Structure 1
Amino acid sequence: MIREAQLQDTRSLAALALQVWLTTYTTDGMRDDYADFALSHFTDEYFEALIQSDEYGVLVCLNDTAVIGFSVVNLVSQYQDKHYGFEVEKLYVHTHFQGQGIGKQLLDAISQRWGAQFWLYTWVENASNHFYQRLGFKQVGELTFDFSGTVIRNNVYISPTS
């Protein structure tokens, strides 16, 4: 079941975000800068602020009562111009539930709730690139940012209807 996130979900969202982020980005082992970022960023307070903001939308996917996936939509973020729509900032699925269609279900729910025209970016080394390409997302650019002195490259994708 997919529904809008509620304040009682914040602890599960924070823990799931830690699990997915650490699994994805610490492939070379756990470094202090990774740990510092993850533990300071993915907090109950972070998710509480997102849930209460008019500029964000947060959906959760539940397996009975457990959160197994979530998405964060930034309704005001733009890539280049408003033509590409809003940004899907996060689409995280618990490691044990990946490959079961949950990411696609969350994307469909995003489209139904906020519209089918959106953009997102993902690390060039992330396996999720294949997921988005398989769904018909089109790469339209690249974003880079500095993380602890390392330049991180990301592919920018637009939804198939953009």
Structure 2
Amino acid sequence: MASSSGSSASGSHNPQGDHYRGAVVEDLQLPPAFALPSDEAISRAIELAYERDFSYIPVLDRERRPLGYVDVAQLKSKWEAGEANPSDKVVRYMTKFKRSTIHHPYTLITPSTTLADLEKFLKENTFAIVTDWDRKFVLGVATSQDLNNFVTRRG
């Protein structure tokens, strides 16, 4: 779940030159999403991120809707520089998702989004949050590395 300069990435498909052979996000076999509640302490967020080897973690509200994300390396740097206290809440340091459709159209990434469309999205974004069609649940996080791993596995 993020914004991009394109429109919905879930419907178009370009079979010509598609080195993903029509595969979709679900074919990446991403691990289940790991997300943080907005009131989680940053010390715990950093600990959990390193346990799971995640660089970005979605932040959710009480209804488990995505609010934004935490850049773990940036958060750790602020902590080490004394600019953040271990007990501070992640909501204070998260990057909020831009929900304006005028300047930053929302791009929906679901399990049925083609990998070709995901690749286009990732050219302008560091990662993609995979959600259900209604954008109520975070299902996973996809990166360019996931695409590279898929191509390597598939041969």
The two structures have a TM-score, normalised by structure 2, of 0.25
Q: Which structure is richer in relative contact order (CA contacts within 8 A, separation 6 or more)?
A: 2
Greater helix proportion:
1
The two structures have a TM-score, normalised by structure 1, of 0.24
Query: Larger C-alpha radius of gyration, 1 or 2?
Result: 2
